[in-house]
Each structure stands twice: as structure tokens, then as C-alpha cells.
Structure 1
């Protein structure tokens, strides 16, 4: 059973505990104090006179601060307590915790207040894979500080624990002996500080060298207020939208990872608890989703990924010249090359997506200088597509891992081992060329051509890229289309055979623009058919496929990020109604999760469950899930830059009502957008024949879709 967990995070540091604030890594869940891919605290248990405490309430004050309200005892029947406890925890380069105990009784009490502590220094990969440690642990009491340490050759980490009030320290924790008079209270502040031990001495997270990705600077109320102030303001009659929008902004602020490439910059880490690190694909997609709201994320992402772009051929890390990194880790296993993430380049999509983000950023902001500054990196990325990624010799972007021991088998966004399969369940061989990768490559070439023509003064290169893109589109629509089914194959097998599973990947093709106009309606029809559409969103794999599992990671769950890209693609081809259906379903789903969309949720039919069912190990918060509501809002309002103007062409569900998005930043300065939901967006029920659903969708072609007058307002 999944217990309620509490996350408190700040930069590269985060704490996962139970709802009472305790940490006990002996259980089945990844709790602890984590930083730079290491667990610096694996036990942190508060007790009074030998009794554990029961949580009354937990207040999430800010993402970097939480307050726990507790009473002694863990019995099933509550008896009016004479003592109560408040634990206030703030994360910054470790964490500070203020413990306050109140005596509500008429008599004095003698208390033994105990905090049991331990640190296993487990690497993130060791926790996931249940691997033992290879080094040695030590602990000691030095003056007024309890120190836990770990050593493996030159790799050393320590955790230092101290208190503001006198305590008896031993190698397993701290004990406070207190007499508390009637109606009085007592408090102490505990400090837990992770340390990296280098040859020159002990270094705190705040002063780590740039090679570690920067420190975990203390957050403040003022900086969070500034974050909100910089983002557009939303007014809406539909409460779930405003709640989800605010939650998304908070989560994106919480997941900011300090950039080593740009002083003061930050890019989105992928998600908590497993992916608090740089992930190329995740940072790019999140930056794309957030561009109309928080364009500064794109700037940091481009700088960081450009800095770490591949420069050589390295089979262990799967690096190539021009390739964009997939993942960067700073833990023990990466340091000893027991895992390749130092950094690891095993992603087939981050490289073309880097060019897509660069172009989309310029379209929104007009920052021509950044495009010129990154000409070399963009050209290198485009070159990688042709020179290193055509592994099948068919003119398609494909992947096959070179690191057989620990590299990723699937190097697309669905990167679990069984995510790419035939309809009957058997797995294709390698290399694999998944369909959406071809869309990304097409989009990158088209956007690269625009950048070359407008900013790099290279019309010949622009012509070449456009010609290559056109040939790719023609070839793709010939080789991937399954005529008998009316959709694109999930992938091509190593011998060019069509992998015939029906998946959500085809929705990404709409976003990229590689779909022939005459086939867009059939693609949308399949996406909105109950085989894929659950009522909350599009499943990753259809009900009819052998590997379908509503609680399988990439084989039947619903991913908010995936759906936001699909809706964006539907809007591109004129299917505004279907895009609104996906947006409404996702905002409704968010209301069941307190406004915070998880990484994924179960693919059960909505009529069966009546509420979205949690996926057991989903990351919460997760960056591109936090970005999804922002992209849904852009899609519903029809926000598109056009030169130095912003086009606003709203198509909103009736349930959304009036929406105002104020102070949208861009090359135009700041603009307001308005829309009113006038459109019922109910999907056709399951008993309507597929042919009728297809007719209804195909009739809504881009040329005939009802258009509303664009709503423009310039400052």
C-alpha cells in the first residue's frame, strides 16, 4: 500500500518523509534527505518518552518549507493530549528543523525527547536496484556535532547534525532532557548539513564547484513571489484551472536545477524522487510547454545542454559529436563508471528537440542574438541526425544502444524495455526507428532552415534542410502508414517492417507537422477512439494491443505531458474541438490530485473508475506534468506568435467559462488574452460506430473548421 509522503525540496536538495515528518528507509519507500544523487539521511525519527508521534495535520507552507502538527502516541483511539508538537522543516543546503513542544496540562512534565538518526549514503541507482554499498561507513561525535560518513577510495560524503539546545549526542542520534512547566513550551533547532569531502577539505552544497551543477541555494518567500509575479496572471471562472495553474508554477519553481552554464540560471529537473537531475529531453519539453509563461527556463536549458553537447565518440556513454545529453548524475555509481550517466547521451530525441526549442524560443521572444550564439550547437545537432542517427540506412532517425550493460534499450521518450512492441506483443529488433522521432527530425530541419535563412545568413544550407525535410515527410508517409488500419506504425523494425501497435506516439506526429493533411483526420479519430482515449486522456497503448496494461508504465497509462503535446498537434491541424476535450479531461483529472498532475496515472476507462487512479511509482512533482497545464492553456486560447504579434484564437469548453491570461511575455512586450467557453466538448459514446466518428472528425478539416475572430491586444 502506498502511504502518504511529504516532499520538501529546494534546488538539488530534497526531503521525502511520512506525514509526521519521520524518515525510515528500512521501509519499502524511497524516503530520506537527498542531494547530488546521494541519500544523506536514511533515518530521522522523533519520539517523546519512547513514544512515536501521530500527525494531526501537515501544512505545505512553500515547496521548501513544511510544518507538521503532532501529538504523542500512535494508538487507534485519540485521548485529549496534554502535549502537542510542531515540527517546522525548511530545506536549504540540507535542512533546518525547529521542534516546539507545548505543555497544555496543569502539571509539569519531565520529557526525554529523542531524535534517532542514520545515514546510509545510498546512491539513487542503488536504492532503485536494491544494490549493496561497496565502501565503508563511519560515525562519530565531534564536540557538539554528530557526524555520519562514508568512504570509498577518494569518494567521501558526510552528514553533520547539530542542535541549538544542549543535547546528549551518541552515534545513533540526539537526546534532550527537558522539564516543561504548565502552559509552557520548549523548542530547539536542528541542522542537518550534507558535505562533500574533497582533497582540500569539506565542502557544503552551497559552495560546490560548477562541475556539480551548482549548489542548492536557500530559497525565500521573496523569490517565490517574484517567480509568480513574472508569470502571466490567470483569472478564470473554472476553479480547477486556477488551482492547477498555481500548483504548476509552484512545482516548476521547486524543480529548478541550478545551471552551471549560465550564472543565476536554472533549468527544470525531471521529477521527484528518482529524477532530480538534468535530463535533456525532459528539460526541453518542459521549457517548450512553459515558453508563453516562463521563457527564462528555455534560456537556461539551451545554455546547459549546449555546454554539455557531445564532442567525441564514446560507446560507454553513447556520446557522439553533436548529440545532446540524456542524463547527468553526480552519485557514487556514476563516479566509478558503474553507470554511464556522467553524462549519458542515450537519447534519440533530445538532439532534434534542441533545435526545435531554439527556434520556438526565438519565435516567442525575438532573441536573435541567442540564435546566433548557438549556431554551432544547432548545426552540430542537425548534423548528428544525418551522420550518426541513420543506423538503418533508410534515411530515418533510429537507435540501438552501444552500452550493453547499462544503456537504455529504448531511447525514445517511452524508454522502458517493453514500450515498443508489435500488436501481438512481440518486441522488434534493433535498430528501431519510432515514428515520433521522424516527426522531431522533420520539425528540426524545417526550423533549422528558418534559422539558417533569417539569422545565420546561409540560404544554401536553408534550402538543403528544407529539401531534406520534404523528402523525409514524403518517405515517412509512404513507409510508416498502415493503409489497412488508417494510422502510422509505432516504429520500423530493423528490416523496415512496420511495428503495428496503436499508440499515443502518433499524436506527436501532428505536433511536428509531418502528417499529410489528408490523413490527419484518421489519426485524430484513432486518438479519440475508446481504444486509446480513456475519458481522462489518451493512453500510451491501445486496449487491443497484447501488452496493454492500465497500470503499465508506458503500455497503457495516461501521461499528462503526452496529452499536452497531442492536443498541441491537434490544434495545429485544426482539430480544436478534440484538443479542448483533452484539455478539459486533464484539468478535471488534476482536481482529483489536488491540482497537481502526476507523472502518469492509470489507463482505466473513466466510466469504470469515475476518478483517475494513481500509478504507484509516479513522480510527484514532475516537470513536464507541471508544464502540461500551461501548454493546455496555450492550446485552448490558440496562442501563436506571428512576427511581432501574438495571435489569440480561443476555443474553450463550456465548463471553463471566462478565462483571462494577463501579461503574456514575448517579443511584443506583454499582451493579455481572453476567451470564453462556448463549446460542449463531450466525446462520442462508445456505441457510435467508428465510421460515424471518423466522418465527424474528417468533416472538421483545417480549411472548414469554424474560426473565431482573433483576439489581439497590444500594450
Structure 2
């Protein structure tokens, strides 16, 4: 069985083959990873010197799987007299139960062996095939195998131990001399612990909130699940979905389970959780991703939002640092804990190269209070929110025209595009030309506008500063007026993707205009034209809104940001359409993406192909999409909010549903918020749509 099997728990994950074996090449993500380091690159089980054949691999929970194996016979027909079961649970490493069953009526003697090695590759070294600069060491200590790597004060160790008799440990792995009686069994428990002996990286600076020291090293050499709240508790604490569509129920549960799997406790979070961005490359804290996911999940759980706000505030920029693209008040883009970040071969300790996360931080803080009524956190984070708002005007206006724009200061490793579409070719003219820098993309202005409007509410209601509130409101009104003039393309009736420093309008038609509706920066007189473009055949594929419209020079249905469909993107576009009264259009987008989820077994990937729905019976997979990915996991949650029309109004929850045709009855029960718990009910009344779901 060649199919890979992945289990994860926060920042730790294991990717193996279908037998549970690990044989990593320098450039793949097979292995045991934790805090951006691969702690096992080889983990191979043999019986009497032979590899095993897989019967099945059963995912019990997101952090646990079971492999059923048999010895090979060298023929097509397998009539095995032995069964081998490996049950593996991840957490700070992993715990593996190894069981061998003898089905014969005679006893059997076996030589069981597990070969173990680690290359301690940094996640960036895996992506870029880079070599190591430190030294490896291996030792056997008190019956434990210790695999180690050291570069100055940066030390990582994998500690392996086993219970069960007759285990011999050597520097290459574990061996067991096994004798099993007729129809008997043998088993052993194996612990593989990922140990961070020392952390060599930049600690938080600034206020006392930012002075929490990272603490990673285990007190005991044992793997332990990072689940302070069990999966059952997590799911039970979420609202209950009742509906006639079994696929929607499965997608909803898959979203809750995957969000639980991606829960991550960064060092400044005091054990609380925020969403890691996605498997395999992004199992860490991302400012933009964590904020968007927290917004999606707010009607279902507020813990992710509160932890995200505290953690990102704790690492908020405090100085001008060109290597990290850091400014005072700027919210980080990405935080890494591996070797290349520790020795500043990458700027990710943390890296601040995102032009949107800072404004979105204020948006999340306001939305969090609107749902929870947690005024204490709004007051506690006043400094951080003010610093973020100040960054918009003081540091983000690189063009001197009053708009948020970006240009990397770290030319070697910094991101060229610092918006959510951060691939090199995502921002382009209709004829394919790439604009110069600085670039002011349209959605950045929408986020800045929204942050100012929301910041004004916070200043007036919680910070006792009406003068500052009025200043922010004036700034927001001015920004909206200028934006609707400077970015509007009157001949094409949509907003430019970006402005160059000389005022040139980058004229590609993209999904970014949907984020403008979500932010509220679009004049009402222009909203209908924007909605019409979003639902046109050029942008809407039938499955969802493409990142770039057909007919644009760089359009590619399987291009990362130039034609694929992103579920996260669509969830905020639908929310924006609903904000401007286009409820039916929002429901169509929700229906398309949720239909696509059926073909992905309820787990929406990072992106999928932008081909027309009529061209394929199923959404075409994007070859390197992350799965699960946090903001794709959160997309069904935001679609439910949008379809049900859930909006907090003071201490009340407003329900104003608009469902797609064929949705039937939907009830979301026990929605948490400042009101306690509320229920929402809806029934679709639009004509039944064709779901394009086949029986096979």
C-alpha cells in the first residue's frame, strides 16, 4: 500500500506509508515532525528480516491510527499465519503499540526489528533540499536509544524506548526475540519522544505580556498527546447541526474534527489553542491564517479567537527590522522554531511580511467582542490594537498616497507579494504584465477601512477615547471615498486589483473584489456590478469563485492563485455578498463549495481546480494543496453562518436565513455567545438545484 497516512496533534505530525513505515527522502514530508524539525526520517518494521504487507490503515481519530499487516509470501495469494497490528498515537512524538498474533496451531519464534534514524531536517531544508551544518550523535542510555543533533546551542533529540521482554537496543534501532505460542499473541509498547533540549531563537520583546519565555523541553522522555480537551469534549461543546443533507452533516463534523486536529499551543498562549495553518508545510502560527480561521469559527467556538489575539499581540512588532520586515505595531506573518530560523538563515523568528494581518487583527478583536461580550480582553489589548491602527497610517503607506501597500525589505528570503495571494505571479495586469513595487492591492484597503470603523467602536465604547474614535471615523470615510474613485475601472465596472505608485490601475478581474464587499468599503452604487462579476461565468465556475477570471492572460485553472478555487476565499466572498443584500448569490456560492466537499469526503482542501463544473463531474484536485488546512476547514462554518444570516446585535443574535434550493431544513442549536445559547432554524424555499452528485 503506497498511499500515505498522516496523523497530527497541534504542532506534531507523523506521515508514513500504508504499513506505518517511514522512509524519508531529503525533499518529502514523510516522517515525525514537531516544531518544524523532522525527528524521525526512518522507522521501518521487519519480521525475520522481511517487510510487511498492508491490509488496511484505519484512522481512529485525527491523532491516532491503526495498521493491520501480514507477512508476505512471495506469491499473489496471501495465506498468512501471522497478523501484525501497529496502533500509533501522536503527541510530542508518538506512542506505538505493536501486537503480533499467531494464527497457527504451532508456536513460532520471530526476530522482530525496527530500524530508526533521524536526519533532523528543518522544514525549510525539506522544502529546499538544503544540507545540515551541525553534528549528529547516537547513544544507548539505560535501555533507550537517543538520536541527536547539535549546532551550537540548538539541540534536538529523539528518545526511543520500549516495554515488553527481550528488547535489545543498538544505535540503529530496536530488536526483539519473540516466541509466540500456538494461537497466542505478543505485544510491546514503544515510546518515541521528540525532545527540544534547547531553543535558540529570538524571544518576545516589549510589554510584560511579550516576555513569556518559551518552554519546550519535556520533563520525561515520553510522548504525550497535546489534547487538554478531548475530541469528544470539543465536538460536544460546538453547536449541534440538524439537517436533511447527510453530506452537510458529515462536512460539518469533519470541520470540527480537523479544527481540533490543528489546535496549536504557541509559547505565549499559556496552554490555550489557536489554529495552525495546515498540513504538512504550515503546522505553526500564521497571522493571517489564524485570524481568518478564528473569524470563521467565532459562532462555534471563541477560544481560537481569544488565543489568536493574545498570541499575535504578544509577538507584535516592536522595532524596524528589515531582515524580518518588522515595524512597530505590525502583526507577524509566520513563526518558525526550526534550525534555519534559529540561526537567521530564514527571517521567520518571527517574520512580519504580511500587509493584511495587522488590520485584520483589529477586525478580529471587534468581531470577537461582538460575539462574546468580552470587554476585558478588548481593554487588555488596547495597546496592541492602537499600535496596529497606527501601523496602517504610519508604516504601511509606502506610496505616500494614503493606501496600504507593500514592498519587501529582505530581498533574499522575503515574500514578494505580501497579500493572501502571495505567489509571485498572483498580482498581474490583464495582459499578463507584472506591476512594480510598492503594490497596493485592493483588498488591503478594504481591510484597513474595516479596521478603522471597528477601531472607532472600540475606542468609543471601551477605551473611553471619543476623540480617537472620531479621528478613525474621519480616516475611514476619507479612505472609502478615495478608494471608490481611484480603484474603480468605469469601463469594466469593477475595482482594480491593485494600484502602482504612479496611480496605474492593475486591471485583472479577480476574486479580490469579493473581499471588498466583506469589508464594506464598496459604495452601494457599485455593489451590484461587483456582485454581477463575481457570479459571472468568468469568475464563478459552478463549484466556486475562481481566484482569477477566465480570459485574463495569466489565468490557469490549476494555477495556485491565478484560477484555482479556494474554499476560504469563497466563504468570505459569500459573507460579503450577504452584507450587501445579495443573499441568493451568497447561497449559490455556499452550495457550490459544499457540493465540492462531498467529493473530498467532507474535508475541503486548500484549493482545487477552477475548471467549469459542466466540464467535470467532480472538482479537480490541486496537486500540492494542504489538507487539512485551517481556513478551508473553517469555510463550512462561515457558510453556515452566512446561509443562516447569523449576526450579533448587542446582546441578541439575529437570524435571517437564506438557503440554497434543495437545502431543506437546517437547525443549528446551542449557538454560544454573549446571549448564552441560542438556536437558529431555516428551510430552503428556492427551486431545487441540480447538485451534480452521482451515485457512484
Using the size of structure 1 for normalisation, the TM-score is 0.91
Q: Which moved more, 1:489-498 or 1:105-114?
A: 105-114
String of CA shifts for 1:215-249, please: whole Å, max 9, x gaps.
Answer: 89624696222211221111111011111111111
Shift of 1:114: 1.7
String of CA shifts for 1:107-137, please: whole Å, max 9, x gaps.
Answer: 3322222212110000000000111111122
Distance 1:128 1:222, change over 3 A: closer
Shift of 1:100: 0.6
Distance 1:221 1:320, change over 3 A: closer
Equivalent residues in 2 for 1:376-387 (5 A)? 376-387=383-394
Equivalent residues in 2 for 1:211-230 (5 A)? 211=214, 218-219=225-226, 223-230=230-237
2:307 aligns with 300
Q: What CA distance in whole angstroms lies between the structure 2 residues aligned with 1:319 and 1:101?
A: 55
2:578 aligns with 571
Distance 1:564 1:382, change over 3 A: same
Local SS of the residue matching 2:387? helix
Local SS of the residue matching 2:149? strand
The answer to whether the Cα contact below 8 Å between 2:154 and 2:339 also exists between their aligned partners in 1 is: yes
The answer to whether the Cα contact below 8 Å between 2:94 and 2:224 also exists between their aligned partners in 1 is: no
1:237 aligns with 244
**Residue 648 (structure 1) aligned to one of 651, 655, 658:** 655
Distance 1:650 1:213, change over 3 A: farther
1:110 aligns with 109
Equivalent residues in 2 for 1:182-581 (5 A)? 182-198=182-198, 210-211=213-214, 218-219=225-226, 223-581=230-588
Give unmatched runs, 5+ long, in structure 1: 201-208, 686-715
Distance 1:64 1:576, change over 3 A: same
Distance 1:217 1:429, change over 3 A: farther
Shift of 1:449: 0.9
Shift of 1:272: 1.0
1:70 aligns with 69
Distance 1:496 1:681, change over 3 A: farther
Shift of 1:214: 9.2
2:174 aligns with 174
| Number of aligned residue pairs | 676
Local SS of the residue matching 2:268? coil
Q: What CA distance in whole angstroms lies between the structure 2 residues aligned with 1:394 and 1:252?
A: 40
The answer to whether the Cα contact below 8 Å between 1:48 and 1:112 also exists between their aligned partners in 2 is: yes
1:89 aligns with 88
The Cα RMSD (Å) is 2.1
The answer to whether the Cα contact below 8 Å between 1:580 and 1:681 also exists between their aligned partners in 2 is: no
Q: What CA distance in whole angstroms lies between the structure 1 residues aligned with 2:419 and 2:319?
A: 22
The answer to whether the Cα contact below 8 Å between 2:69 and 2:83 also exists between their aligned partners in 1 is: yes
The answer to whether the Cα contact below 8 Å between 1:581 and 1:681 also exists between their aligned partners in 2 is: no
Q: What CA distance in whole angstroms lies between the structure 2 residues aligned with 1:520 and 1:599?
A: 28
String of CA shifts for 1:302-341, please: whole Å, max 9, x gaps.
Answer: 1111111111111111111111111111100001000000
Distance 1:126 1:356, change over 3 A: same
Distance 1:10 1:652, change over 3 A: same
Q: What CA distance in whole angstroms lies between the structure 2 residues aligned with 1:10 and 1:462?
A: 42
Distance 1:684 1:78, change over 3 A: closer
Local SS of the residue matching 1:292? coil
Corresponding position: 1:143 with 2:142: yes
Q: What CA distance in whole angstroms lies between the structure 2 residues aligned with 1:607 and 1:375?
A: 51
The answer to whether the Cα contact below 8 Å between 2:359 and 2:389 also exists between their aligned partners in 1 is: yes
Distance 1:675 1:214, change over 3 A: farther
Q: What CA distance in whole angstroms lies between the structure 2 residues aligned with 1:115 and 1:346?
A: 43
The answer to whether the Cα contact below 8 Å between 1:318 and 1:403 also exists between their aligned partners in 2 is: yes
Q: What CA distance in whole angstroms lies between the structure 1 residues aligned with 2:496 and 2:71?
A: 59
Shift of 1:672: 0.4
1:13 aligns with 12
Distance 1:199 1:480, change over 3 A: closer
Q: What CA distance in whole angstroms lies between the structure 2 residues aligned with 1:547 and 1:130?
A: 29
Distance 1:430 1:191, change over 3 A: same
Q: What CA distance in whole angstroms lies between the structure 2 residues aligned with 1:608 and 1:539?
A: 15
Q: Which moved more, 1:425-434 or 1:542-551?
A: 542-551
The answer to whether the Cα contact below 8 Å between 2:154 and 2:199 also exists between their aligned partners in 1 is: no
Distance 1:74 1:220, change over 3 A: farther
Distance 1:433 1:78, change over 3 A: farther
Shift of 1:82: 1.5
Q: What CA distance in whole angstroms lies between the structure 1 residues aligned with 2:213 and 2:300?
A: 28
Distance 1:423 1:31, change over 3 A: same
Distance 1:520 1:78, change over 3 A: farther
Shift of 1:365: 1.1
Q: Which moved more, 1:284-293 or 1:413-422?
A: 413-422
Q: What CA distance in whole angstroms lies between the structure 2 residues aligned with 1:195 and 1:259?
A: 16
Local SS of the residue matching 2:241? strand
1:713 aligns with none
1:205 aligns with none
The answer to whether the Cα contact below 8 Å between 1:581 and 1:683 also exists between their aligned partners in 2 is: no
Distance 1:222 1:157, change over 3 A: closer
Local SS of the residue matching 1:253? helix
Shift of 1:198: 3.6
Corresponding position: 1:38 with 2:37: yes
Distance 1:213 1:557, change over 3 A: farther
**Residue 667 (structure 1) aligned to one of 674, 677, 681:** 674
Q: Which moved more, 1:441-450 or 1:179-188?
A: 179-188
Q: What CA distance in whole angstroms lies between the structure 2 residues aligned with 1:304 and 1:627?
A: 20
Shift of 1:145: 1.4
Local SS of the residue matching 1:357? helix
Using the size of structure 2 for normalisation, the TM-score is 0.94
Q: What CA distance in whole angstroms lies between the structure 2 residues aligned with 1:632 and 1:579?
A: 9
Give unmatched runs, 5+ long, in structure 2: 201-211
String of CA shifts for 1:279-310, please: whole Å, max 9, x gaps.
Answer: 11111000000000011111111111111111
Corresponding position: 1:162 with 2:161: yes
The answer to whether the Cα contact below 8 Å between 1:213 and 1:259 also exists between their aligned partners in 2 is: no
Q: What CA distance in whole angstroms lies between the structure 2 residues aligned with 1:214 and 1:28?
A: 27
Shift of 1:682: 5.0
String of CA shifts for 1:184-226, please: whole Å, max 9, x gaps.
Answer: 11111111111223499xxxxxxxx842579896246962222
Q: What CA distance in whole angstroms lies between the structure 2 residues aligned with 1:222 and 1:304?
A: 19
The answer to whether the Cα contact below 8 Å between 1:214 and 1:260 also exists between their aligned partners in 2 is: no
Q: What CA distance in whole angstroms lies between the structure 2 residues aligned with 1:55 and 1:262?
A: 40
Local SS of the residue matching 2:467? helix
Q: What CA distance in whole angstroms lies between the structure 2 residues aligned with 1:603 and 1:53?
A: 40
String of CA shifts for 1:387-443, please: whole Å, max 9, x gaps.
Answer: 000000111000000011111111001111111111111211100000100000000
Local SS of the residue matching 1:327? coil
Distance 1:684 1:136, change over 3 A: closer
